[in-house]
Amino acid sequence: MPKLNGVLETALYVDDVPRAQAFYETVLDLKPIFADQRLCALDVAGRSVLLLFRRGATLETVTMPGGTIPPHDGSGPQHIALAVSAEDLAAWEDRLAGKGVAIEGRTDWPRGGRSIYFRDPDGHLLELATPGLWPTY
């Protein structure tokens, strides 16, 4: 069996790419690595990429010089979790409060991890999770 090395990209579908990009840059300090009218790609800790696609903008095959990308899209509130250290969780709570972002939920996990939950401008549920959430994290 060939091995998987991790999740490279995660996609969220948003109504307004510049608004979503501003939120992720301002609140989470993610840096854009590509942007056009259809999407914004943000670096996440130098290990993965968060793609913000304009909802409905990827319903047709995209042809590029190197090949094609099949159609995809999403609707409704989606969920992603971002890894943070246990030592930084309180600082993240302070940062969110300072940016006017309400924490919607908190969870203490049986393995010792902790999570906080909040929403982006499109209603997607974002989670900041410390180690101890899963057997692999």
pLDDT of residue 63: 94
Q: Which domains does the chain have, with CATH numbers?
A: 1-75 (3.30.720.120), 77-137 (3.10.180.10)
d(CA 70, CA 68): 6
Q: Give the percent of the chain with pLDDT over 70.
A: 100
pLDDT of residue 27: 98
pLDDT of residue 117: 98
Q: Is 100 left (phi over 0), alpha (psi -120 to 50) or beta?
A: left
Q: Average pLDDT, stretch 91-107? A: 98
Output the pTM of the full model: 0.94
Helix and strand totals (H; E) in the chain:
2, 10
pLDDT of residue 12: 98
